């Protein structure tokens, strides 16, 4: 299965100056598979240690003498570990904190050795690390579920990927191609981007088989709860896992989730889900200029789920039943789709941040689905599931922040219009003039290029 992340690993391998890499991502997004495939294809030897399967090998990392560690590994695996020809892969490294610390010494003493570490619950380990973190001696990379383009490629639709990558503002999209891409977008809503689910669907075209994978993944995520948090928090996390898909696109309100669970327990449970990368919290920002994080409102947020296919499985929605029917949550599905895509944009060495904007005033409330930073500019992003929708909130935001362009994703063909109108703000009419770029949902992967 082709992943764009592999291209980043190849670039890392060929770099003159590199550091041991720690790959972060949720369970079952494909970290182990991609790193192993990369090791087998681009190195003469792959030496893989899975600390979950062979915990006894933790003994090799109790020393800071990495030369001795390498010798022990060579004897154990019966392989020579050569600086330029071997990839040392430390999987489930969160189980061995000493191995995390050793990355510093690999960098300092054997700088040419290619070392990659990964782990499903790695963020918890890094947060609780009792040892000295190898700051400045490691680099991070981030993996997510398959993006829509990777889904298309796995489904044998790589010609469509090439078509979208060559699209330019002002080009037309033939209606049959648009309709096909919208059908595939809808299929992605329900299959999602978890590699195993996509792979089984690509091989069998069986939606039921994909559903079985979804159920298995969700159960494994729940089993992980026992590895962190108190018993009370584990119960709350289980409830949140089933609740959050219902409120995607909505502000999280503690009282709506539960009137009987303490708010601090809920918040800590949300933080644990966030560290596990099962949930992403999209915070409200009041920033009028970059960086957007400076205006972040910590207590005001709306959640996104790890994967749109998993979210629909939690809601017990099936594509086979709903292919030709409308859904009550079409809007939230579209918002999850765009948010999930925005989060997995390259470059992979940085963790993307997305925000939203809201103004809660009586008779004058407004909300922008996403606010992103592109270069040195703020870009508001509106998401519509259908072909129509009002622009009132967008006009208010653009007027207040003095912006000259905005993005709308919807189900219609692409268009660009100059919006020139007036909008009421604080009981006064203000003129607003901006360029509105409307793109079909499936073109979200080209956002950076098209606005660049």
The region of weakest confidence among 116-125, 217-226, 268-277 is 116-125
Span 50-69, average pLDDT: 96
Cα(235)–Cα(265) distance, integer angstroms: 10
Of 142, 166, 184, which one is at a domain's C-terminal end?
142
Same domain (yes/no): 15, 124: yes
Same domain (yes/no): 20, 108: yes
Q: Considering the chain, what is the average pLDDT of its residues?
A: 93
**Of 319, 340, 322, which Cα lies nearest the Cα of 383?**
340
- Quick check: is 340 in a domain? no
Q: What is the pLDDT of residue 130?
A: 62
Q: How do residues 346-385 score in pLDDT, each as one tens digit?
A: 999 999 999 999 988 776 689 999 999 988 899 999 999 9
- Quick check: is 216 in a domain? yes
- Quick check: is 207 in a domain? yes
Same domain (yes/no): 105, 125: yes
- Quick check: is 346 in a domain? no
Same domain (yes/no): 62, 13: yes
Q: What is the pLDDT of residue 227?
A: 87
For residue 59 the two structure tokens come to 């003994």
Phi, psi of 103, deg, nearest 5: -60, -35
Same domain (yes/no): 133, 153: no
Residues 6+ apart with CB under 8 A from 253: none
In percent, the amount of the chain with pLDDT more than 90 equals: 81
Same domain (yes/no): 380, 307: no
What's the gap between Cα 410 and its chain centre?
Answer: 21
The DSSP result for 270-293, as a single string, is HHHHHHTTSEEEEEEE--SSS-GG
Residue 240's domain comprises: 148-335
The answer on pLDDT for 118 being more than 60 is: yes
Residues 6+ apart with CB under 8 A from 404: 398, 433, 434, 435
- Quick check: is 344 in a domain? no
- Quick check: is 61 in a domain? yes
Same domain (yes/no): 237, 300: yes
Where b means 16+ CB within 10 Å and e means fewer, 285-324 reads bebeeeebeebbeeebbbbbbbbbbbbbbbbebebeeeee
Cα(66)–Cα(60) distance, integer angstroms: 9
Same domain (yes/no): 286, 159: yes
In percent, the amount of the chain with pLDDT more than 70 equals: 96
Q: What is the pLDDT of residue 360?
A: 80
Of 124, 142, 160, which one is at a domain's C-terminal end?
142
- Quick check: is 166 in a domain? yes
The answer on pLDDT for 150 being more than 50 is: yes
Same domain (yes/no): 14, 53: yes
Q: What is the pLDDT of residue 383?
A: 97
pTM: 0.94
Q: What is the pLDDT of residue 363?
A: 66
Same domain (yes/no): 98, 155: no
Q: How many domains does the chain have?
A: 3
Span 188-192, average pLDDT: 95
Phi/psi class of residue 319: alpha, beta or left (left: φ > 0; alpha: ψ in -120 to 50)? alpha
Unique residue bearing structure tokens 């040419």: 112
Q: What is the pLDDT of residue 322?
A: 47
Q: How do residues 307-337 score in pLDDT, each as one tens digit?
A: 999 999 999 987 665 455 566 778 999 999 9
Q: How do residues 237-264 score in pLDDT, each as one tens digit?
A: 999 999 999 999 999 999 999 989 999 9
- Quick check: is 348 in a domain? no
Same domain (yes/no): 205, 269: yes
Domain with residue 78: its CATH number is: 3.40.50.300
Of 90, 124, 142, which one is at a domain's C-terminal end?
142
Q: What is the pLDDT of residue 31?
A: 97
Same domain (yes/no): 203, 316: yes
Q: How do residues 255-307 score in pLDDT, each as one tens digit?
A: 999 989 999 999 999 999 999 999 999 999 999 889 999 999 999 999 999 99
The answer on pLDDT for 223 being more than 70 is: yes
Where b means 16+ CB within 10 Å and e means fewer, 30-56 reads bbbebbebbbeeebeebbbbbbeeeee
């Amino acid at each position: 299965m082709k992943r764009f992340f592999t291209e980043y690993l190849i670039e890392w391998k060929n770099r003159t100056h590199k550091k041991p890499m720690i790959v972060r991502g949720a369970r079952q997004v494909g970290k182990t598979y991609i790193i192993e495939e990369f090791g087998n294809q681009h190195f003469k030897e792959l030496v893989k240690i899975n600390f979950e399967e062979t915990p006894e090998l933790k003994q090799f990392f109790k020393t800071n003498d990495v030369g001795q560690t390498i010798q022990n590994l060579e004897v154990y695996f019966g392989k020579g570990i050569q600086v330029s020809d071997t990839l040392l892969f430390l999987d489930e490294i969160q189980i061995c904190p000493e191995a995390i610390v050793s990355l510093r010494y690999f960098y300092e003493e054997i700088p040419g050795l290619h070392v990659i570490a990964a782990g499903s619950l790695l963020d918890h380990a890094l947060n609780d690390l009792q040892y000295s973190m190898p700051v400045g001696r490691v680099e991070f990379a981030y993996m997510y579920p398959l993006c829509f383009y990777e889904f298309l490629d796995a489904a044998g639709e790589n010609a469509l990927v090439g078509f979208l990558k060559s699209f330019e503002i002002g080009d037309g999209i033939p209606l049959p191609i648009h309709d096909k891409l919208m059908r595939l977008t809808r299929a992605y809503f329900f299959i999602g981007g978890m590699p195993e689910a996509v792979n089984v669907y690509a091989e069998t075209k069986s939606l039921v088989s994909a559903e079985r994978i979804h159920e298995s993944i969700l159960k494994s995520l729940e089993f992980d709860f026992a590895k962190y948090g108190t018993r009370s928090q584990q119960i709350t996390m289980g409830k949140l896992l089933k609740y959050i898909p219902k409120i995607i696109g909505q502000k999280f309100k503690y009282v709506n989730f539960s009137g009987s669970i303490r708010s601090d327990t809920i918040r800590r449970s949300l933080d644990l889900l966030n560290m596990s990368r099962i949930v992403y919290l999209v915070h409200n920002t009041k920033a009028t200029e970059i960086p957007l994080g400076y205006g972040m409102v910590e207590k005001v947020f709306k959640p996104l789920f790890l994967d749109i296919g998993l979210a629909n499985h939690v809601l017990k929605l099936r594509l086979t039943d709903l292919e030709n029917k409308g859904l009550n949550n079409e809007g939230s599905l579209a918002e999850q789709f765009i948010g999930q895509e925005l989060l997995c944009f390259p470059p992979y060495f940085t963790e993307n941040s997305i925000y939203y904007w809201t103004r809660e005033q009586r008779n004058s409330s407004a909300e922008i689905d996403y606010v992103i930073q592109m270069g040195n500019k703020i870009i508001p992003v509106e998401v519509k599931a259908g072909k129509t929708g009002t622009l009132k909130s967008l006009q208010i935001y653009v007027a207040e922040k003095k912006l000259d362009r905005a993005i709308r994703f919807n189900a219609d063909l692409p268009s660009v219009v100059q919006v020139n109108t007036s909008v009421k703000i604080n009981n006064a009419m203000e003129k607003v003039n901006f360029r509105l770029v409307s793109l079909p949902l499936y073109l979200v992967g080209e956002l950076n290029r098209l606005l660049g």
